[in-house]
C-alpha cells in the first residue's frame, strides 16, 4: 500500500548542528503513528518538514507517492495535510464557528453550502456545537485544544499532524482529547502525533516511533518500542 505521507532520508542542519539525520518515516492511509523522544530529539523539526514549514537540507517528502518536498505549507494543507499546534492559536476575537469557517474556506478552499456542512460536521465531531457562538478567547484550555483540532479537521485532511496537543491537560481532560482523536481516526484520517504523555499516546496509536539526536532509534508496535532497551536508555529512563 502506498504511504499517505512519507519522508525519505530526511536531513536538517542548522549551521553545524544536525537536527535530523537520514530520517525515514511513513504513515499508511488511516494509520495512527506516535512519535516520542527526549527534548531536542528532532520531533517537531520532523513535523515541520512534513508540514512544509522547514525545508530539509536533504531527502524527500511524498504525499500519496507524489514528491511534495518543495510544496509550501498552504499547498500541503489543500492537498490534505492538516496540522494542530501545541499552543492553540485561534483568532481570539472570532467565534468558534468563525474560526472553523476560516479553516474550511481559506485552508480547504470550500465555499457556501460545502463549507457550512464541513464546519457543522467538524464542530459535532469535536464536541463544540454548543459553543459555536462563543468567542475563542473565552474558551478554557481543553476547548481551545478541541478548537485547534477542529480547525485542522476543517481543512479536510487525509493525515493530521498533532504536536503535543495533550500538554497542560488534566487526566480527565486528556481522556476527552483521546476520545476526540480516536473519533478522527475512526473516520479514516491518518494521524501522526508527537506527545510526551506516553500513556495517553498509546491509547490511540498503532505504531510508535522513538527519536533521539535527530535519528529514529525504534519504530514498531508500541509495547515492543517501549520495552526496547535503547528506548529505555535514551528516553524512558530520563522521564521516570
Ligand X SMILES: Nc1ncnc2c1ncn2[C@@H]1O[C@H](COP(=O)(O)OP(=O)(O)OP(=O)(O)O)[C@@H](O)[C@H]1O
Q: Which is nearer to ligand X, 149 or 209 (CB)?
A: 209
Minimal distance, residue 229 CB to ligand X, in Å: 21
Identify the residue among 1, 39, 186, 229 touching ligand X (CB under 6 A). 39
Does 144 participate in binding ligand X (rule CB under 6 A)?
A: no
Minimal distance, residue 41 CB to ligand X, in Å: 4
Identify the residue among 19, 32, 33, 84 touching ligand X (CB under 6 A). 19
Taking contact as CB under 6 A, which single stretch among the options 25-33, 34-42, 63-71, 122-130 is the one that binds ligand X? 34-42
Count the neighbouring beta carbons within 10 Å of the beta carbon of residue 188.
Answer: 9
Does 216 participate in binding ligand X (rule CB under 6 A)?
A: no
Identify the residue among 5, 26, 33, 45 touching ligand X (CB under 6 A). 45
Taking contact as CB under 6 A, which single stretch among the options 33-41, 141-149, 172-180, 224-232 is the one that binds ligand X? 33-41
Which residues are at the interface with ligand X (CB under 6 A)? 14, 17, 19, 37, 39-45
Amino acid at each position: 500500500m502506498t504511504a499517505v505521507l512519507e519522508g525519505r532520508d530526511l536531513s536538517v542542519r542548522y549551521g553545524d548542528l544536525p537536527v535530523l539525520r537520514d530520517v525515514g518515516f511513513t504513515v499508511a492511509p488511516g494509520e495512527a503513528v506516535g512519535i516520542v523522544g527526549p527534548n531536542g530529539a528532532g520531533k517537531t523539526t520532523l513535523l515541520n518538514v512534513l508540514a512544509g514549514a522547514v525545508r530539509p537540507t536533504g531527502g524527500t517528502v511524498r504525499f500519496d507517492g507524489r514528491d511534495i518536498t518543495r510544496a509550501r505549507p498552504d499547498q500541503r494543507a489543500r492537498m490534505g495535510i492538516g496540522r494542530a499546534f501545541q499552543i492553540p492559536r485561534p483568532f481570539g476575537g472570532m467565534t468558534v464557528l468563525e474560526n472553523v469557517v476560516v479553516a474550511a474556506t481559506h485552508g480547504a478552499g470550500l465555499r457556501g453550502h460545502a463549507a457550512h456542512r464541513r464546519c457543522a460536521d467538524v464542530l459535532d465531531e469535536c464536541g463544540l456545537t454548543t459553543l459555536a457562538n462563543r468567542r475563542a478567547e473565552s474558551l478554557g484550555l481543553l476547548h481551545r485544544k478541541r478548537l485547534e483540532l477542529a480547525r485542522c479537521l476543517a481543512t479536510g485532511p487525509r493525515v493530521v499532524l498533532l504536536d503535543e496537543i495533550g500538554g497542560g491537560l488534566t487526566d480527565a481532560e486528556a481522556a476527552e482529547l483521546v476520545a476526540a482523536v480516536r473519533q478522527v481516526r475512526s473516520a479514516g484520517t491518518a494521524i501522526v502525533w508527537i506527545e510526551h504523555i506516553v500513556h495517553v499516546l498509546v491509547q490511540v496509536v498503532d505504531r510508535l516511533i522513538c527519536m533521539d539526536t535527530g535519528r529514529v532509534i525504534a519504530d514498531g508496535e508500541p509495547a515492543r518500542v517501549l520495552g526496547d532497551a535503547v528506548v529505555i536508555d535514551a528516553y524512558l529512563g530520563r522521564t521516570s
